Amino acid sequence: CVVFDDLLDSNQKLIEPFFTRGRHNDLDVYYLSQSYYRVDRLIRINSNIVILFKQTIRDVENIYRDIAGFDMSYDEFKSLCREAWKEKYNYLEINMLEDKNGKKYKICNESNIECKIFNPATDPF
């Protein structure tokens, strides 16, 4: 298990191999960041699970374009985010390995005891 914290942009190149080749060596890698978009794109697209705490509307729009735009309408994604972040310490978990009608989108609380699975009702775009 390897954990990375928000690093300077120049240092992100040093950790890219962990994300692109780590799984082939049975390595679990966690990257903690204050901003989804400060993380290098190569790392973002090689991530299996994204955990999002409350974001700005601009980040919500961009995350929609990167991830959720293939699964639901923008209005539905905004509603999902609003619901997820309604209570303090709740977060939205997006599992990229799951189908949109499976367990891809979950609203979870801080204790991880109770997670609500969300299946999109609208079409993308």
What integer pLDDT is reported at residue 1 of this predicted model?
A: 52
Q: For position 42, what pLDDT does the model report? A: 81
Matching residue, tokens 């539905």: 76
The length of the chain in residues reads 125
Hunting for tokens 């775009």 — which residue is that?
A: 125
Rounded-to-integer distance, Cα 93 and Cα 14, Å: 26
What residues does 105 pair with on adjacent strands? 94, 118
pLDDT at 10: 58
Rounded to whole angstroms, how far apart are CA atoms 21 and 28? Answer: 11
Percent of the chain with pLDDT over 70: 90
- Residues in the chain predicted with pLDDT less than 50, given as ranges, are none
